[in-house]
Every structure is written in structure tokens, then in C-alpha cells.
Amino acid sequence: MIKVLQSGLFTTIQDTGRFGFRNYGVPNGGVMDSISASLANSLLNNHLDDAVLEITLIGPKIEFLHSSIIAITGATSLIYLNADLIRLNKVYTVAKGDILSFGVSIVGVRTYLAVKNGFKSIKILNSRSLFQEITPEINCKKGSIIPFDEFKIENNNHLVNSQIVFKKLFFETSILEVYKGPDFNLFSSSEMNKIIKAFYTISVKNSRMGYYFNEAVLPHSKSIITNPVLPGTIQLIPSGNLIVLMKDAQTTGGYPRVLQLSERSICILAQKGAGESISFKLTEI
């Protein structure tokens, strides 16, 4: 188990999400950056669906009540295990009483903490992912106790000889790969070229539900019958702004679905914050 001593800005428990319930209006949910979360689980030889902590911008301070091994991936920040500065993409041992604390994100927005065999919080609709109106809590709070299976360790040298070194983080790019959305042809080629070739800045109105871009590139009065949407669906609203739906977004929408992000692009965008710039690269499926 871990005990949350300080909650950070927005720390949640996430796995790969809820599937098979969209016909009831239940969003997929799950980790925003599936690449980083999968890497953390892979470093520990976990199942890729094992639950992790998703840490947003300002990290928590937690105490380990059992021993285990851990891996941390995603956004970079100053991370301390007791008094020792530790690094991303490595495996460390933790003992009962160890304190793990995270600073403010330096590069990226979301950091992932995995423990051996995953966190064992309550499972609802086949997922441990926290989501408003489905789970009792929407995020981890000070005093929260989060269970996991104790993993016996032979020593407590902390660093385990297992790591991955990257020359560059995959999300250190401003280009998002997109596909044509279901309503791409609702607009002319010149109108869509204007949308695709524009540069965008991320608004402060961004969350696990969606990212809003500041630029109004194509105001319009076209509407569609409410239709299914997915994480990564890009909607063009009447003001001409684009909204990118993310993992906690609704299951249907009435704005034209002009583009669709690839899963990798969802992960890249999930690591971008307000004021950062992005552009699109149209790709055929």
C-alpha cells in the first residue's frame, strides 16, 4: 500500500480504460499517455493493463507501507526517493517507510508511477480508472490509501539494473499525426487545407476531457446529427476553433468531426500544456 501525504495538483489512478460500455454513455477513460504508462509497466514486467498513478504537472508526496519495485516514466521533474534524486525510465526498489516525492514537471505534463503487479484499487465496470460519477473519488487526496501486492525484495540498494535510455522523449515534437474524420468532406478542400496547415496554441481550457485551441481558423454554421465520437476526435465548433476530445470525453457529439488523432498523437498532445504550439500532419490510414 501507499499513503498519499500530499496530493499534488491532480493525481489519479488509471489503467487502459473502460471498454464495452460506450452504448450506455460511459467514456473510455484510462491513461492519457498510453505510451509512457505502458513503458512503466513494461519495465516491471507487469501486464500493460495494470493500474498506475497518473501525475499531472505538480506531483504528490507518498509513503510506501509495503516493499516493492517501481518505475517512473513520462514527464520529467525532480523526483526524490527519500533524500536521493532518482531518474525516469529506471527500476528502483522501495521498502516500508520510504518516501517518494515529485516536483513540478519540467518537460511534459503527465508522469506515470508503476509498482510491481499494479495498484489494486477498486475495480468498477472492469477498470480501476477514476472517473467522476463512476468511481467514489475522481482523484487521489491527502490521506488516501492505495493498495498493491507486497513484493519482497532481497536488499534495499534502491537502484535495480534495469533501465531504458532515450536520446529524445517521443513527445518532444510539435507535430501531431491526424487522419481524415467522418465529416472531413463536409468542407471544401481549401477549407480543410486551411485547418490542416494552420498552427495552433493550446488554451488554458485543457483537461482529461478535451483540449481547446486558441485560434479560430474557420467559423461556420454547419451542423451534424449527434454522432459517435472517440478519444482523439477533432471537432470544429461554430466559432472556428478546434476541440480535441481526450480520454474522459463524452461518447457522442454534434459538431463536425473533421479530423482524428492517432493514438501516438493523443499521447503527444497529453504531454502538452497551455501556451504550447502544435501543427498537424495528415496521414492516410
Q: Is 270 in a helix, a strand, or coil? A: helix
Convert the pLDDT of each residue in 145-195 to its tens digit. Answer: 999 998 887 765 666 666 666 767 899 999 999 999 999 999 999 999 999
**Whole-number pLDDT of residue 169:** 84
Residue-level pLDDT at 160: 65
Q: Locate cell 504531454: which residue?
A: 271
Q: Which three cell numbers stand for residue 128?
A: 480501476
Residues in the chain: 285
Instruction: State how far the alpha carbon of 262 is from the alpha carbons of 34, 178, 234, in Å.
Output: 12, 6, 11
* Percent of the chain residues past pLDDT 90, beyond the cut: 88
Taking domain 175-282, whether its CATH number is 2.40.100.10 is answered by yes
Chain segment 39-90, per-residue pLDDT in tens: 999 999 999 999 999 999 999 999 999 999 999 999 999 999 999 999 999 9
In this prediction, residue 162 carries a pLDDT of 65
Q: How far is CA 90 from CA 7, 32, 41, 106, in A?
A: 23, 21, 11, 18
Q: Which of 250, 245, 244, 253 is nearest to 226 (CA)?
A: 253
pLDDT tens sequence across 217-233: 999 998 889 999 999 99
pTM confidence score: 0.94
102-132: string of b/e by CB count within 10 Å (b at 16+)? beebeebbbbbbbbbbbbbbeeebebbbbbe
pLDDT band at residue 133 under the 50/70/90 scheme = confident
62 class by beta-carbon count within 10 Å (0-12 exposed, 13-18 middle, 19+ buried): buried
Describe the crossing of helices 263-270 and 34-43 by its angle, rounded to 10 degrees.
Answer: 90
Q: Following DSSP, what letter does each residue of 171-238 receive, concatenated?
A: T---EEEEEE-TTGGGS-HHHHHHHHH-EEEEEEEE-SSEEEES------------EE--TTEEEE-T
Q: How far is it, in rounded angstroms, from Cα 105 to Cα 169?
A: 14
DSSP secondary structure letter of residue 35:
H
Domain ranges across the chain: 2-163, 175-282
Residues 6+ away with beta carbon under 8 Å from 158: 81, 84, 86, 92, 93, 94
- Report strand pairing: 277-282 vs 175-180: parallel
